[in-house]
Amino acid sequence: MDTNQIGTELLVERLHTTRRLACRAFLERAGSDWRLVTMIADGVDSEDTPGLAYDYEDVAFLKAVVRADELCAWLVSGEGELQGIRFEIPRSRVRPASFKFRAACA
């Protein structure tokens, strides 16, 4: 497994080379608002990935395909929206990380 940590600015720059991203997000309720806890985004070739939204009152699990420039705008502005649910993206104290898994060849 390769691990790489980069700054938010470099992440935004690299995302502009991708057209669409399949985003999966875990949100938690913060008063009357939603706050992003975790997001995973993978590059995809089409919009055929089905979306979903599970709202369990205090937590929500969301999945949707978004344009890369839309995700970049969320990171810069600190807020986003998936499946009709608006959420805050807290400023990270930890740098964004990427993980690449490689299959071992015998």
Nearest residue to 89 via CA among 48, 44, 38, 54: 38
Domain annotation covers residue 77: yes
Cβ partners under 8 Å of residue 41, min gap 6: 21, 22, 23, 24, 71
The total domain count for the chain is 1
| 89 within 8 A of 36, measured Cβ to Cβ | yes
Domain annotation covers residue 11: yes
Domain annotation covers residue 104: no
Domain annotation covers residue 47: yes
pLDDT (tens, 9 = 90+) of the chain, 106 residues, equals 455 666 777 777 777 777 888 899 999 999 999 999 999 888 787 767 778 999 999 999 999 999 888 988 998 899 999 999 999 998 765 555 555 545 455 4
Q: What is the pTM of this model?
A: 0.73
Per the structure, the complete domain to which residue 42 belongs is given by 2-92
Cα 27–chain centre separation: 11
